[in-house]
Structure 1
Amino acid sequence: MGRQWGPAMRVAEQAGCVVSASRAGQPEAGSWSCSGVILNQSPGLVLCHGGIFTPFLRAGSGVLTAAGATFLPGDSCSDDLRLHVQWGPTALSPTGRTERGRPRLCTPGCASLEPSPPARHRGRPLQPPHPAELLLLLSCPDFRAHFARLFGSEATEQWRFASSSPEDEMSGDEEEDQLRALGWFALLRVKHGSEEKADELRPAMAVVPLGTVPKGSPLLACGSPFGSFCPDIFLNTLSHGVLSNAAGPLLLTDARCLPGSEGGGVFTVRHAGALVALVAAPLCWKAREWVGLTLLCAAAPLLRAARVALRCLRPSTASLAALLPPEVGAPWGLPLQDPGPPWAAAAVLVECGTVWGSGVVVAPRLMVTCRHVAPREMARVLVRPTMPKHCRQQHPGQ
């Protein structure tokens, strides 16, 4: 496994980071944090989730759902916004130099312990947070369109994409803000001091074009659960899975992600660990039951939107458009195979009253499914080749 996943793991750990947002001079207001991806070394470009910026929007979170809204300039947020980016020791330059200054402690509570040892990540000193500036907020219109079409907005659908479980206390406004920011991301630029050099960040990575990763391909997700809380252990946590399904730029994976992983990068084993997508929603709930799939937004269309936005904003940011990661590779040339008879290994939907589940057609008029999906007392079993939308309101079988 190490030989197969090694290159992707190295790229993921070098690109992973944590982004924190807070209000200047108001420590009592708390902070917000999420995962991010270091896109390029020289200008210090970082892409992260846009959900942590909703408390700072001058016009409120409703501006994210305004008709035609695809990007917002950095000054859309209040002047008291302060951003910091922190990455691990593997994101250092090839010379392995460390930065000057004492590394930040893992949590505020640790600061009261004296003497305080430097925070470490996997045995190496953890990098201190760097100040950053918000260049723009952006979204992928196709992602938002597919999300609205697939999941709808009716309460009867009972879908929930909050970063907490249904039992946790969360106000209606907070949950609405999270839903509005679901398809939004933020492009940041790390500020470098006089003693800090931009080459401390890793080189620009490569991005996989949309639609070139086949369904079932192995993926590696890199995020920091719980955001900036105790990065000593949670920074750049890896999880592997497969591309479970795709609807345009809206992707699903079974790679396990937790709250705080929003904005984390998802990489492919092919192309030496090229970037495939960013985590949009690490937790999905259906009728108060956890769905073990993570919602992703493809990186390629997102970066195309970023290039357009940078050129539209002002001359000072237009030059950054050329420094975003390029798309590499072409649709994978998978050998064509005889699909066999049309009924072979076809997945179908099986309905028995209020119970539904999946089945596999193994021969004409012969289908295999779990016994509890089709109990003996049910006289009528309905088999569908596709799943109608109304079935998402019922309890799924296995």
Structure 2
Amino acid sequence: MGRHWGPAMRVAEQVGCVVSASWSGQPEADSWSCSGVILSRSPGLVLCHGGIFTPFLRAGSGALTAAGAAFLPGDSCCDDLRLHVQWGPTAGSPAGCAERARPGLCTPHCAALKPSPPAGPHGRPLLPPHPAELLLLLSCPAFQAHFARLFGSEAAEQWRFARAAPDDEVSEDEEEDQLRALGWFALLRVKHGREEEADECGPAAAVAPLGAVPKGAPLLACGTPFGSFCPDIFLNTLSRGVLSNAAGPLLLTDARCLPGTEGGGVFAVRPGGELVALVVAPLCWKAREWVGLTLLCAAAPLLRAARAALGRLSPDAASLAALLPPEVGAPWGLPLRDSGPPWAAAAVLVECGTVWGSGVVVAPRLLVTCRHVAPRETARVLVRPTTPKTAKIWGHVVFATQETSPYDIAVVSLEEELKGVHMPVPTKHFHEGIVASNTRDKNTGATYPHLNFSIPITVLQPALQQYSQTGDLAGLRELDHTAEPVRVVWRLQRPLAEALRSKL
């Protein structure tokens, strides 16, 4: 699979761009920006996130949630809206070659930082921003339906799909606007100069059909962190990940994205580098904890909605529908509706009060999770299995390690058996490497992102087997009495030096 990263990266960088919106005559006073995908170069068509347009809507953000609102024409925004699109030089295009030979245009934020002509991520000058017009705002009905079903209940109050952290100052109106625009996108037409009209014709990228990429397949996300703040450095930043989960066109990936990458493209890692989805929300918060997943909208149904909307606008707009990228390729592996490999069903969601985390089923009525998820013995917990996703089973904590123990382990006994779950077979050996997560050095206060220790199942298996057969917790209690070297390593401390011996 590694040999396919190159083609996917080239496609991603060639169609990635950044979009900025501002008031006429006030380009720097109040501006909003996001990432986008170039769908066609002549004429220039760009798809980006719709959240940056909420300040310009004549009827306010409520127009996005009006009954039957699947799309809004461009004149739904104020006349003094000004749009600009910026991208890097396209390999092989006349305009790109010409731009590489002359100084580029730096953003005002970067102009004061360095006097030399700005260069993109590959050392080539960026193309100057091009003016653009808004053709329409659109949403994917299927995405909206799945999002409402999954996040529209009372439990959704614990989730936050904003561009700021929970502690940042964001007004209720701003947060409501962001939530309303979450699944909305914008189709723009770039106003090229005459010398650029004949540079390149046809779609800039192909689109993967819905269901063409299986769960667990590698993906490549391409967006511009912080939008138009400093594209000289951040334009078309790449992030690797996998398709973590899917519900219809609502997709999740563990590719790490940042604010400003909304609207950026996510591509399949295979020779064609097809466009799979667009970034909806790069940061998700639940119960004031950051979740390292990015919410996506599949590109195929979104572009189908765009074709339908263009056909209803005007004859001129309808002619643009034929220029949108086609869906190519046969389904690749398992469809998105598949429940995944058998071992995936052994993973469950564990909720203990307001605390939540994952767990692993080790027996029909027994699962293992972390102590910090279920810290109190006898505490009642709610378990949600993968299939069916609506199922709920109650259980109680029969064992939790002490807080001083380096083994962050809790064992939960379920009130009912989990049916249809393939019980994992514990391995007898394990390979050393490291689980990606966060850890903190208590001595220095430093946090090391994406680093943590894993607990081999070989350490837990004898004690779990003893409890399953006899109900005896003695083996599990031993986890609270580990040797000092293990405790030292877990605290990120140096091993204690051996005491010096006298030569006398």
Q: Classify the TM-score, shorter chain.
A: 0.7 to 0.9
The separation in 2 between residues aligned to 1:195 and 1:18, in whole angstroms, is 22
- Which residue of structure 2 lines up, in the alignment, with residue 119 of structure 1? 118
Residue-by-residue CA offset, 1:293-314 (whole Å, 9 max, x unaligned) = 1110110000000000111100
For the 8 Å contact 1:307–1:321, the answer to whether it is kept is: yes
Change (3 A) 1:155 1:91: farther
- Which residue of structure 1 lines up, in the alignment, with residue 285 of structure 2? 285
Change (3 A) 1:106 1:25: closer
Q: C-alpha displacement at 1:331, in angstroms?
A: 1.9
The separation in 1 between residues aligned to 2:209 and 2:293, in whole angstroms, is 22
| C-alpha RMSD of the superposition | 3.0
Change (3 A) 1:123 1:112: closer
Change (3 A) 1:175 1:29: same
Identify the range of structure 1 (356-365 vs 286-295) with the bigger mean alpha-carbon deviation.
356-365
For the 8 Å contact 2:203–2:325, the answer to whether it is kept is: no
Q: For residue 159 of structure 1, what is the amino acid of its counterpart?
A: W
> TM-score, normalized by length of structure 1?
0.88
- Structure 2 unaligned blocks of 5 or more: 394-409, 411-436, 438-504
Structure with greater Cα Rg: 2
- Which residue of structure 2 lines up, in the alignment, with residue 130 of structure 1? 130
- Which residue of structure 2 lines up, in the alignment, with residue 314 of structure 1? 314
For the 8 Å contact 1:220–1:240, the answer to whether it is kept is: yes
Higher RCO, 1 vs 2 (CA within 8 Å, ≥6 residues apart): 1
Q: C-alpha displacement at 1:270, in angstroms?
A: 2.5
> TM-score, normalized by length of structure 2?
0.70
- Which residue of structure 2 lines up, in the alignment, with residue 24 of structure 1? 24
For the 8 Å contact 1:345–1:360, the answer to whether it is kept is: no
Question: SS at the partner of 2:316?
Answer: helix
The separation in 1 between residues aligned to 2:344 and 2:289, in whole angstroms, is 32
Q: C-alpha displacement at 1:198, in angstroms?
A: 4.5
- Structure 1 unaligned blocks of 5 or more: 392-396
- Which residue of structure 1 lines up, in the alignment, with residue 6 of structure 2? 6
Q: Percent identity?
A: 81
The separation in 2 between residues aligned to 1:244 and 1:273, in whole angstroms, is 18
Change (3 A) 1:61 1:146: same
The separation in 1 between residues aligned to 2:236 and 2:55, in whole angstroms, is 25
Q: For residue 14 of structure 1, what is the amino acid of its counterpart?
A: Q
The separation in 1 between residues aligned to 2:243 and 2:80, in whole angstroms, is 40
Change (3 A) 1:54 1:363: same
- Show the 5 A alignment for 1:155-234: 157-199=157-199, 203-234=203-234
- Show the 5 A alignment for 1:58-97: 58-90=58-90, 93=93, 97=97
The separation in 1 between residues aligned to 2:117 and 2:351, in whole angstroms, is 58
For the 8 Å contact 2:17–2:235, the answer to whether it is kept is: yes
- Which residue of structure 1 lines up, in the alignment, with residue 108 of structure 2? 107
Residue-by-residue CA offset, 1:266-321 (whole Å, 9 max, x unaligned) = 00113521000000111111122111111101100000000001111000111110
Q: C-alpha displacement at 1:110, in angstroms?
A: 1.6
Alignment of 1:243 onto 2:243: yes
Change (3 A) 1:20 1:334: closer
Q: For residue 105 of structure 2, what is the amino acid of its counterpart?
A: R
The separation in 2 between residues aligned to 1:77 and 1:158, in whole angstroms, is 32
Q: C-alpha displacement at 1:173, in angstroms?
A: 1.2
Change (3 A) 1:201 1:236: farther
Residue-by-residue CA offset, 1:50-77 (whole Å, 9 max, x unaligned) = 0111111111110000011011111111
The separation in 1 between residues aligned to 2:343 and 2:98, in whole angstroms, is 60
For the 8 Å contact 1:221–1:265, the answer to whether it is kept is: yes
Question: SS at the partner of 1:12?
Answer: helix
- Show the 5 A alignment for 1:17-56: 17-27=17-27, 29-56=29-56
Question: SS at the partner of 1:195?
Answer: helix
- Which residue of structure 2 lines up, in the alignment, with residue 394 of structure 1? none
The separation in 2 between residues aligned to 1:31 and 1:239, in whole angstroms, is 26
Residue-by-residue CA offset, 1:111-156 (whole Å, 9 max, x unaligned) = 597xx32111121111111111111111001111111111116487
> How many residues matched?
387
Q: For residue 145 of structure 1, what is the amino acid of its counterpart?
A: A
Change (3 A) 1:7 1:353: same
For the 8 Å contact 2:227–2:261, the answer to whether it is kept is: yes
The separation in 2 between residues aligned to 1:128 and 1:60, in whole angstroms, is 31
Change (3 A) 1:342 1:105: closer
Change (3 A) 1:329 1:98: same
Q: C-alpha displacement at 1:351, in angstroms?
A: 5.4
Identify the range of structure 1 (154-163 vs 137-146) with the bigger mean alpha-carbon deviation.
154-163
Question: SS at the partner of 1:187?
Answer: strand
For the 8 Å contact 2:385–2:392, the answer to whether it is kept is: no
The separation in 2 between residues aligned to 1:55 and 1:225, in whole angstroms, is 21
The separation in 2 between residues aligned to 1:354 and 1:131, in whole angstroms, is 48
